[in-house]
Amino acid sequence: MTTRPTPMQVQRAARELGGYISTWRKLMRFTSQQVADKAGISRGTVSRLENGDPNVSLAAYLGVLRVLDRLDDAVKVLDPYETEFGRAQSEHILPERVRK
């Protein structure tokens, strides 16, 4: 099985996210071990995440965001109904809800 190289944009985004997560952890005065314990992952995984490893699992990212109380923010930022574009497109693309 061959793996494709990770695109540069993805690598850059992973590094940025990792840096943000590291900063949040420090602002909240958590050690990486405390975050790891609360998220149910290893300290090494927290380190890889903070260092921008794009191969860290989504579950690990979400677990750390939950510990840092940022999970709801991360989910909300991707909600298409929170954007003008998403709301406008939904009127044309998505079927109307049927109420009983």
pLDDT at 39: 98
Cα separation, 83 vs 72, in Å, equals 16
Per-residue pLDDT of the chain (100 residues; tens, 9 = 90+): 678 899 999 999 999 999 999 999 999 999 999 999 999 999 999 999 999 999 999 999 999 999 999 999 999 999 988 888 888 888 777 666 545 5
- pTM of the entire structure? 0.84
Q: Residue 14 to residues 11, 69, 94: CA-CA distances in angstroms?
A: 5, 19, 31
pLDDT at 99: 52
Cα separation, 76 vs 96, in Å, equals 22
Query: What domains can you pick out in the chain, each with its CATH number?
Result: 8-74 (1.10.260.40)
